Each structure stands twice: as C-alpha cells, then as structure tokens.
A and B are shown apart, each in its own frame.
Chain A
Amino acid sequence: MFAVVLVLGVSAIIFFLINSIGSPIDMLMADRPGVTDQAIAALKAYYHLDRGVIVRYFIWLGSVARGDFGTSITYNQPVGPMLVGFGLETLKLQLPAIFLGLALAVGIAAVAAVRQYSRVDFTVMTGALLGHSLPGFLVGILLILIFAYWLGVFPSYGAYSTLTPLWGSTFADGLWHMVLPLTMLTLFNTATLTLLLRANMVDVLRHDYIMAARASGLPERRVVFGHALRNAIIPVLTYLGILFGLMLATAPVTETVFTWPGAGLLYITAIQQLDYPVIMGETLVVTVMLVLFTLLTDIAYVLIDPRIRLE
C-alpha cells in the first residue's frame, strides 16, 4: 500500500516540476518559422496543455493505467514501446553484470576467507577495495582508451555495428560490443560483492557449527561451500536488490560513456529536449521497478533464511 503512495508521490513531484517550467510547446516552437498560432493551439489541445496542471496529472495517470504513456515529443513515437525497447538494451548489460559479478565474487571471496590474513587475502581485499572505489565511469573511460583506441580490439561505442556486423553475425556483433561496458559494470559488482561476501564468510567461519561440521568428518570443501557459504551469502543475496537499484540509477552515466542505446541514454536525451512524456514515463517505470525490487528483496530474505518467518 505504502509503495503505491510512494510511486504516486514521486511521479507527482516530477510532473509538477516539469509543468512549472511553462509550456514546452511554446519553447520548442518559439523559433520555428512558419508555424501558425492555430497549429500551436491545436498542438496544445492535443497535449491537453490548455487545462490546469492537476487535471493534466490525473489525465496522465489515467492513460498510464491503461498502458498508454503518451507520445514522445522528440521522436514522435509512442512512449510505451520505446521504453520497452530501450529498456531491454539496458537490461542486456545490467542483468549479466549482476549475475557474473555474483558468480565471481563467490569464487574469490571463498578463497580469500578461507585463507584469512594470507597474502592472497590481502591482495583480494585491496583489489576489491580499489574496484569498489574506482568511479565506474572512469573505469569505462580507461577501458575505452586502452582497448578501443590504443589496442583497437573492441568498439568504443554503440550496441551494434552500423555497417557490417562482426563475423557476419548480429549475435556475435552484439556480444562484441557488450564486452567493454559489461566489464566495467561487472568489475564494480564483483568488487562490492566480494567485499561483502568475504567479510561475512570470515565471520561465519568462526562459528561453532563450522567447527562441528569439520568434527563430523565432512571434507573441507563441503564445509566451506555447503555450510559456510550458504550462511554467508544470505545478506549478500538481499544486497543484490540494492545493487541492482544502484546500477539502474547510474545507467545514464554508463550509457553515456559507451554511447549505449539504452533507457539511460534515452532519459538524458529526453531531459535535454524536455520531452516530458518520456521523462514522466521513464521516471515512473524506474521508480516502480525500484519499489518492486525492494519488496522482492524483503520477501526473498524471509524465504531464504529459515530463522525469519512472517509474523
């Protein structure tokens, strides 16, 4: 229930802010020759700009509820499908980055935690701290510099080649373009998750039940993965929700660095062009997704940890 209020609240804020700047039509049309006043009036009516702000808000909400997000002013296309299309491109990067990050973190953290205080552990810790503190976009820029410009191995922008796809296959071409941005995202994810997981594992490995598992004769590998890791990963899994939110929020930056045609880049363009249907639509969708994720995370926590049960 509260979530709904939340979403409405956010969209309301954005809506009012946008509308307070005056009619976008006026601004866009201001310098164009040959546009008659009648045309402007007609456009305004079409976009309901002749009504009051609050009314407009509810009109918008109503159409959203029916799945109609309006039409983009800049692209002149329905916003809904646009969001889906661009959104998928964004997810193409974000989702693998998270899962890859998790998989790598599990391997690395397990090794480091078992050998606590060893040289391996310190290397891992330092590496993870660095990877976590390096601003993402800097990593991206460096990657482009080194691998795209100097070494020329990977493309420096876009999701697909404009002319001939790599090896004649669009699939391979897409993958090839994904490598650099994916590396950048995965680096941060792996580092952050490793820090968290390793700390948890070090903590868990100190517990009596780990010693008891060893005393029962179970081999070390099973103790580490079946018992220690299973316990240590619980808070990490719930952190995945937060991480995903973080990734989503910084998508505009990522996509600007790599000129990746995703929802983030769309958003920036929309803001610059004052394309408010897109802005509104995207803000709403993103907020909804974040709220959903937070809820899912809470639910996941209850499901995974048998100690917590709904009252």
Chain B
Amino acid sequence: MSGADADQIAAALPRRRLPRGPGNLRQGWRRLRRNRTGMLGLLLVVLVVVVAVLAPVIAPYAPNDQSAMLHFGAQAPPSGAHWFGTDRSGYDVLTRTLYGAPTALVVGLGAMLIASFIGVAVGGIAGYLGGAADELLMRGTEFFLVIPVFIVILAVVRLFGVVVIGTPLEGVPFLNLGAIIVLLGLFGWPPLARLARAEFLRLKQMEFVEAARCIGARPRDIIFRHILPNALPSLVVVAALGIGGAILAEAMISFLGFGDPKTVSWGQSLYFNYQVLKVAPWAVLAPGLAIFLTVLGFNLLADGLSDAFNPRLKQ
C-alpha cells in the first residue's frame, strides 16, 4: 500500500468527537450571538443589571420620599415632575420601580445560588454514585416536587414573621426578604437536581471519564474537573430559568401581602397600589411591566443559551 493510499484512508476515517472543553464556551457564545431571541434576552437582563447598579444615581427621588403627600400630590398621573406619576402613598413611581431592580436581582440570584448548591450536590451525588444513594435521593427530590410549593412558602413566610415578633431577631433588616430568598432556594432545587443527575449519569459513561480513571484520577478530580464543567451548560440554562421563576415567585408572594414591607420590590409596589388600580393604574403598571420584562429577559436568555449549547439541527 502506498503512502498516498494510507493518507486517503486516514482522511476517510470517521473523526472521533472530542469531549467539550473550555473552547466550547467561545463556540457557544458565537452561536448565541446569532440567536435573536437569546440576544434579546441578554439585552433585557443586562438592562436590568445596569438599572439595578445605577438606581441610586439615576433615580430622581429617594425611594422613601413621600413629599408628594404634602401637597396632595399622591396618586397623580405622570407629569413633568414625576415621569411615572406617584403612587398611593406619594412615592415617586419611577424611583420605586428603579429601586426594585436590585431587589429583584438579589432575590433571583440568591435563591438560585442556594438552589444550585443543593440541587447540584444532590443530583450529582445521586447520578455519580447510583444505586441505593440514587434511589434515596431521588425519592427526596420527588417529595419536594409534589408538595404545593407556593402555598407552603406562603404559610412558612407568614409563620416566620409571626414567630420572630418579640424576639431579638425582629430588628434585623431585610429579614423577611432574606427568609423569602432562603425558602425559594430551599424549595427550588428539585429541577436542578434532576438535571444534574441526568447529566452526571450521561457524562459518567463517556470515554474521557474512563480515561481519567485509567490514569488514576481521584473521584474528586473527575467530578470537578471533568464532569462538572461539561454539565455546566445545561445547568446554566435551568438556572437562568430559575432566576426568572424566583423573581416571579417573590413578586407573587409580595403581591399577596406576605412580602417584606421594608424593602422596595416590584411585588410590594403591586401590593401597595392594587387598591387604587382604578384611579392610579400607572403605579401598578410600571412595576408590573418591570417584572414582565425581567422575567421575559431571563426566559429568553435561557432559551437562547439552550440553543447555543445544544444546537438543534434545522431542516
């Protein structure tokens, strides 16, 4: 066989798919750029982040400024002085809406961080170890999936609020909000656990893990340096969706009146101003729109990321 033939054959051999490494990130980014919905989502999210960071700078009033009340200016429609009008208690709607952004982000990110830790840990262990541990952990996950999470959180938040009365904890700032965040995280991990488990199961069987094992890598290395980075894309997608969900959940909890009255959040604004919906709709519409855009942003981003990391073949 001549050398040319050997080259020919070598060129014709099917290429082995190499496992995804950090180079995948740049590829994913490039694909994301081409995805219009994903970019829109990213834009919205970035917008919210910018607003959150710059709120103190760009807000026309202080969030607790009720000076409008002084001259019967509460519930006033949008005007030159108050671009989004004033709300029921005389607050400037624009200011409150702007200041709601950092709250929302803290809630979303905080809840998701907690949920991610728990979820990935549970799912990862279940997926990696398999067997009895898997069964047990999955039962636990099922338990959390079936309970009416939202309802339970409402009850717990309220009860927590009551328990704290008269205790030294009462004076802690943002305690209620913190409680909400923790609860959302504590109840929000099952979807992440499910995904983590699926990913670990899938990746565990791949050849590069076997190869790592062959060269004597410790389980800890295998998990953190091989499996986890490859599972990250899918996890990030679910996490992005979760952030949106957490923000929405907090908005709903606050809207029902169980939120933290001392914080400025969009849900709280809705709660305060729902009574005066008829006469001052702007006070409700502004935070409502903010919630919508933020959650939409995260959802679209998640969708775009999902497409970017797992491109679906189009016909």
Interface set of A (CB-CB < 8 Å, partner B) = 2, 6, 9-10, 13-14, 17-18, 20-22, 27, 133-135, 137-138, 141-142, 144-145, 149, 206, 245, 248-250, 252-253, 256, 267-268, 271-272, 274, 279, 282-283, 286-287, 290-291, 294
Contacts and interface: CB of A to CB of B under 8 A. Distances in A.
B255 A249 contact: no
4 smallest beta-carbon distances between A and B, as pairs: A249-B150, A271-B158, A138-B288, A133-B296
A256 B256 contact: yes
Interface string B276-290: 011001001100100
A242 to B, nearest CB: 10
Given A6-B146, A135-B251, A290-B146, A249 B162 contact: no
B89 to A, nearest CB: 19
Given A283-B148, A287-B148, A291-B146, 4 more contacts: A135-B291, A138-B292, A271-B154, A283-B155
Nearest to B314: A117
Contacts of B257: 268, 272
Contacts of A134: 292, 296
A253 B152 contact: no
A267 B151 contact: yes
Contact of A287 (B146, B255, B270, B300): B146
A21 B252 CA distance: 24
B158 A144 contact: no
Consensus secondary structure, chain B interface = helix
Residue of B143, B159, B163 contacting most chain A CB atoms (<10 Å): B159
21 contacts: A2-B139, A9-B143, A10-B147, A10-B152, A17-B159, A20-B163, A21-B163, A135-B252, A135-B288, A137-B270, A141-B284, A142-B288, A248-B148, A249-B149, A252-B154, A253-B255, A256-B255, A268-B257, A286-B148, A287-B148, A290-B146
Contacts of B265: none
Interface residues of B, number: 39
A279 to B, nearest CB: 6
Nearest to A265: B256
B181 interface: no
A250 B255 CA distance: 12
A23 to B, nearest CB: 12
Interface in B264-310: 270, 274, 277-278, 281, 284-285, 288, 291-292, 295-296, 299-300
A149 B159 CA distance: 36
A6 B140 CA distance: 10
Contacts of B281: 145, 149
Contacts of B256: 252-253, 256, 268
A137 B252 contact: yes
